[in-house]
């Protein structure tokens, strides 16, 4: 791309998405900001255009709505100026697994999994053809922490991590950068929407700190960026353990521990 690519950001009306918009605007990128709240989007667009002199296009869309999601997909497929996708839109889990409703689970999966996947799929072929561009998927440390007892939300974020790792293997050799950003508790509205009192949590990261750290990882072209992880070697050890497990799988036979002597006839 001869000039800075336009950045499309979902869930951009507040929190992490709005902060990403500000950070990329500060760098001189034009933006396409997507969310349900048009009033907030337009206020953000007006401010960023005034402060940084960039162009901001507002797209009001509810990504749980198939038709509105398709509108954003179409934009990603056809707008050749868009070279970066920030897949940020997501919702949290309210209640335990047995307390959740079918509708709440469906909404969570629609945004956290279906929308993330479809939007990445919409832009990836064009980026591959161009030989450059980036897809950033916002996950969560809950995605590898089942002990947090957020089963559906955690599973959706585990999917985001796996998807990002898989896309990296497929797309990186063809010039497309993929990043998974895994926050822990961050001061955003997702907590209030999930019915959780964020002030009751012992440690919470400010959203500006989270996005600034994620942008450092972005500039370094990290695959997995975990801003609250203090010792990077912990993640490296976890990934190495995963690789060791795979190296120890021999799919032609069961492991010895699963072999038992046949029962004697009585």
177-193 per-position pLDDT tens digit:
999 999 987 777 665 65
**CB 59 within 8 Å of CB 38:** no
Query: Taking Cα atoms as reference points, which of 65, 51, 36 lies closest to residue 189?
Result: 36
Residue 195 has pLDDT above 60, yes or no: no
Q: Chain-wide mean pLDDT for the chain?
A: 93
Question: Catalytic: which of 153, 159, 177, 218?
Answer: 153
Question: Is 258 within a domain?
Answer: no
At residue 252, the 3 state secondary structure works out as: coil
Question: Is 256 within a domain?
Answer: no
Least confident segment among 139-143, 179-183, 204-208: 204-208
Question: Is 264 within a domain?
Answer: no
What's the CATH number where 20 sits? Answer: 3.40.50.720
- At 40, which helix (H) or strand (E)? helix 38-52
> What band does 1 get if pLDDT is binned at 50, 70 and 90?
very low
**Domain interval for residue 145:** 6-233
**Residues 6 or more apart in contact with residue 49 via CB below 8 angstroms:** 55, 56
How far apart (Å, rounded) are the C-alpha atoms in residues 76 and 84?
10
HEC-encoded secondary structure of 185-244: CECCCHHHHCCCCHHHCCCCECHHHHHHHHHHHHHHCCCEECCCCCCHHHHHHHHHHHHH
Residue 34 has pLDDT above 70, yes or no: yes
- CB count in 10 Å sphere of residue 85: 26
Question: Is 38 within a domain?
Answer: yes
Question: Is 148 within a domain?
Answer: yes
> What band does 244 get if pLDDT is binned at 50, 70 and 90?
very high
Question: Is 66 within a domain?
Answer: yes
- CB count in 10 Å sphere of residue 170: 12
Q: What domain count does the chain have?
A: 1
Question: Is 261 within a domain?
Answer: no
Question: Is 30 within a domain?
Answer: yes
Q: What is the pLDDT of residue 196?
A: 59
- Strand 56-60 relative to strand 31-35: parallel, antiparallel, unpaired? parallel
* pLDDT tens track for 80-138: 999 999 999 999 887 889 999 999 999 999 999 999 999 999 999 999 999 999 999 99
Q: Would you call 153 a catalytic residue per the annotation?
A: yes
């Amino acid at each position: 791309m001869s000039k800075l690519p336009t950045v499309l950001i979902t869930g951009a009306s507040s929190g992490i998405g709005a902060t990403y918009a500000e950070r990329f605007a500060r760098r001189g990128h034009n933006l396409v900001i997507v969310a349900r709240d048009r009033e907030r989007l337009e206020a953000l667009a007006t401010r960023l255009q005034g402060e940084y002199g960039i162009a901001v296009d507002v797209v009001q869309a509810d990504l749980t709505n198939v038709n509105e999601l398709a509108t954003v997909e179409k934009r990603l497929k056809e707008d050749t100026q868009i070279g970066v996708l920030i897949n940020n839109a997501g919702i949290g889990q309210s209640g335990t697994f047995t307390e959740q409703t079918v509708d709440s689970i469906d909404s969570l999966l629609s945004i956290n999994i279906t929308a993330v996947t479809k939007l990445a799929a919409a832009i990836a072929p064009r980026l591959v053809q161009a030989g450059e561009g980036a897809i950033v998927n916002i996950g969560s440390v809950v995605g590898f922490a089942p002990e947090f007892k957020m089963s559906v939300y955690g599973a959706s974020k585990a999917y985001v991590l796996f998807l990002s790792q898989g896309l990296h293997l497929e797309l990186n050799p063809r010039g497309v950068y993929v990043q998974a950003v895994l926050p822990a508790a961050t001061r955003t509205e997702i907590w209030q929407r999930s019915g959780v009192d964020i002030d009751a949590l012992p440690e919470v990261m400010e959203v500006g700190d989270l996005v600034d750290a994620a942008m450092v990882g972005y500039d370094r072209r990290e695959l997995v960026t975990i801003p609250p992880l203090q010792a990077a070697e912990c993640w490296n050890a976890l990934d190495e353990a995963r690789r060791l497990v795979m190296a120890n799988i021999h799919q032609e036979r069961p492991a010895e521990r699963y072999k038992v002597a046949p029962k004697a006839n009585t």
